Structure 1
Amino acid sequence: MKAFLCRCLPLLLLFALIFTALAACATEPGGASGASEAGGASSGAESAAEGFPLEEKNFGGKEITVLCVDRHTYGVMQFVPDSELKANAVNDAVAERNNLIEEKYGLTIKAVGENFPIETLRLAVTSGIDDYDMICDTMMGMMPLIPENLYLALDDYIDISHEWWDQNANELLTLNDKHYLLSGDAIITDDDYTYLLLYNKTMYADNAELSGKYGDLYDLVREGKWTLDVMYEMMKAVAEPDETGAWSENATYGMAGSINIGNVFMNAGGYLPAERTSDGGIAIALGKDANLAAFDRVYDLFSDSTTTMLVERYPQNGWDIVNTAFQEGYALFYSTNASSISIFKNAEDEVVSFGVLPNPKFSESQDRYYHTVNSGNSSVLAVASTNVENVEATCYLLELLGYYGKHTPFKSINDAYYETTLKLQAVESDDDAEMLDIVFGNRIYDIYTMMPWGSSPTLGQIYGQVLTAGSNTTVSLLESKRQEIETDIQNTLNEFSKLN
């Protein structure tokens, strides 16, 4: 993502660019348990700012059909604009991009929205129907089905090293030597479902002890001093029971979230529940000493019902209760997806003044901040295996979508997404945009959590289940599941090996 200041060009300069263009045409502490797999910078080494680097082609008006999620605000809109929607930054940016691609490259996009696109594609492929050229659906839905040959291996068609493709995704979203799934600047539904922290600016400022000691939280992040221990100190400092002395939904908490917070914060330290082995296998890392010690810290923070409110602790309407608690100022921090920013922005009721923060480091010596991509909602792209006649055009379009999601003579869809996301009540600072750049530029694709290894709880669900178990049962729960999980892992590896 470009830095936010680059997105704030004066309008005259923006118009000048338009007309000119149209005229021209953790290693610490989790190094042994997965941090090395988290990837480096999320963009490729090259820069294509001077122009689209591929040979210019015109496909004479060829239509490419994308099967996509219609239950997300931007699921369809990121491909095709809504003609009835007026004055929407993302919608307008998509329209401009599509017009340019059609006029210059002779490609048009048709979007087919479905609740569960992967099931529609699965039926089409097994029936030999080639109605869909490409698909955009959730990682959790698409990744486990790679062995079913639903998608093309893209290595011979797309240069995945281009800077608009997320290199972390390229490294982690595969279990063999081929790449089937893409994430990056071509879409915005990957960003919208990345975990981050929101914080209550008013609550923090009003706590003289905390704000006096730590000052500007954005500076704390920049200095690399935003850590788990600092966050926990703040959580404890603001937590108060309700007026009856109970820790109810009317109490004030340091943190709001769901049991996903277990995986989110383990990933924030660079820890993954499994790891690749030197012989190409996968070993469970969740039970290693370093991981267990790290989860002890996470467990102490978020199993404490006097500092953390979790959705799952409320038998009914848990999500509404937690969302409302933060919205109305009863929680200092909220561990949530980036999509919550737009939700709060569009809320009819008043929302507390809040800002954006990355997930904290486990210690100041950790190399960077890590952010989990929500595999159940965040999207990836793939080309349908039944796509024979339109393969070249489809892959060329994917490169165009990626390039023009990053480099445009007009406002890109990613710029428009930032603008839409950040225009909040009392949140219009460049600081928040800088924090989003940190979040989106340092993402973890936890493939081991999204794979269905073991019956419930799966390998990826163990941390969440333990958080509400009443005691830290990680070791005993893992050992009771280990054989089943290891069998499923080996079966998955066998299936992927057949694709090589």
Structure 2
Amino acid sequence: MFNKEMIDAYGLDNPYDLVRNGSWNIDKFAAMAQTVLSDADGDGNMTRAADSWGYMSEPKQVFPCFWISAGEMSIAKDERDLPYLNITGNDRFFAIFDKVYSVMWDDGVWCCDQKNIDHWPETAKMFGESRVLFVDEIFYRLNELRDVEAAFGIIPYPMFDDTQAEYYSRVEAGARIGMVPITNKHPEYAGALLEAMSSFGYNHLIPEYYEVALKRRTSRDSESAEMLDLIFATRRYDLGDTWWCNELRDGLFKNMFAENDRNLASGIAGQEKIINKTLTKVVDKLSG
């Protein structure tokens, strides 16, 4: 999301136009985010209490958002449609890693004052006070911004550079699921019921949520509805950010980013054996 009032106050380019004309990339994101940085209380320290920031996100979410929007996957598939670790030896992945750290830490656009934070309430407060330009959040949080007076819009994450052909949108790992216990004496009935519920949800609930709740009730303008169509049409699922997030996203990148640790080669080398063993075990089990 972006704060429209800050866009106007700082005379920044219209993000919707940038997305439409294909010039919405990480360099443009960085330039806009840097413009709004301000030690508003003049104490010489950038804090979340009173100062203005370019970008707000949880540490574990930052890098996945940008590597996926750049078109990379931490776990990719080979010619046999089998998953493999796609980081070691992938120069482009390393370049994206370096760029994200440069923008977030060296340029200082990311709100790094996150100790003892109740993240979403604090983010919503800063956003409503027009003290953060870009905010990373999941869609169900939009309903909690209905009372926020500051105008805002929705856009996809930026492309990596001008050579990228299209936008890509990350699907985050969090989900609520139901399970059938082993003590169930009629699994065929449970299966039929779950299938019927899933069918109803897919055909009726999801369209209503998307067209009514997201586009009409929680979005603030028609441009956001247009951007939602683009975001949903370009969804990408990275297994290293979803199924195996414990091994990669949370097991490696979460702490690395929070601590400004830039030694990706060393970090991935320490996890590579574990990840490859996990991949092999899962593939063997599913193939058996």
Same fold (TM over 0.5): yes
Query: Structure 1: how far apart are the matches of 2:119 and 2:196?
Result: 44
**1:417-456 alignment, distance < 5 Å:** 417=213, 418-422=215-219, 427=220, 429-452=221-244
Q: Secondary structure of 2:136's match? A: strand
Identity between Structure 1 and Structure 2 (%): 20
Query: Structure 2: how far apart are the matches of 1:381 and 1:244?
Result: 50
- Which residue is equivalent to 1:459? 248
Q: Secondary structure of 1:471's match? A: coil
Does residue 471 of the first structure (1) align with residue 261 of the second (2)? yes
- 2:52 partner letter: T
**Of 33, 52, 62, which residue of structure 2 is paired with 1:261?**
62
Q: Which has the higher strand share?
A: 1
Query: Structure 2: how far apart are the matches of 1:318 and 1:396?
Result: 37
1:404 to partner: Cα distance: 3.5
- Which residue is equivalent to 1:491? 281
Deviations 1:313-361 (A, max 9, x none): 323434433332222111111111122221111x4xx542111111111
Contact kept? 1:273, 1:460, Cα under 8 Å: no
1:413 to partner: Cα distance: 4.2
Does residue 207 of the first structure (1) align with residue 10 of the second (2)? yes
Runs of 4+ aligned structure 1 residues displaced above 6 Å come to: 380-385
Contact kept? 1:272, 1:446, Cα under 8 Å: yes
Comparing 379-388 and 472-481, the one that deviates more: 379-388
Which protein has the larger Cα radius of gyration, Structure 1 or Structure 2? Answer: 1
- 2:259 partner letter: A
- Which residue is equivalent to 1:415? 211
Unmatched 5+ stretches in structure 1: 1-197
- 1:362 partner letter: F
Query: Structure 2: how far apart are the matches of 1:403 and 1:452?
Result: 29
**Of 75, 86, 101, which residue of structure 2 is paired with 1:274?**
75
- Which residue is equivalent to 1:38? none
**1:322-333 alignment, distance < 5 Å:** 322-333=123-134
Query: Structure 1: how far apart are the matches of 2:243 and 2:30?
Result: 31
Contact kept? 2:169, 2:231, Cα under 8 Å: yes
Query: Structure 2: how far apart are the matches of 1:319 and 1:490?
Result: 37
Aligned positions, number: 279
Q: Which has the higher helix share?
A: 2
Q: Secondary structure of 2:240's match? A: helix
Query: Structure 1: how far apart are the matches of 2:249 and 2:237?
Result: 12
Contact kept? 1:234, 1:254, Cα under 8 Å: yes
Q: 1:237 to 1:353 in 2, by over 3 A?
A: same
Q: Secondary structure of 1:254's match? A: strand
Q: Secondary structure of 1:437's match? A: helix
- Cα RMSD over matched residues? 2.7
Contact kept? 1:273, 1:286, Cα under 8 Å: yes
Deviations 1:48-90 (A, max 9, x none): xxxxxxxxxxxxxxxxxxxxxxxxxxxxxxxxxxxxxxxxxxx
1:254 to partner: Cα distance: 0.8
**1:66-215 alignment, distance < 5 Å:** 198-208=1-11, 210=12, 214=13
- Which residue is equivalent to 1:372? 170
- 1:388 partner letter: E
TM-score, scaled relative to structure 2: 0.85
Q: Secondary structure of 1:438's match? A: helix
- 2:54 partner letter: G
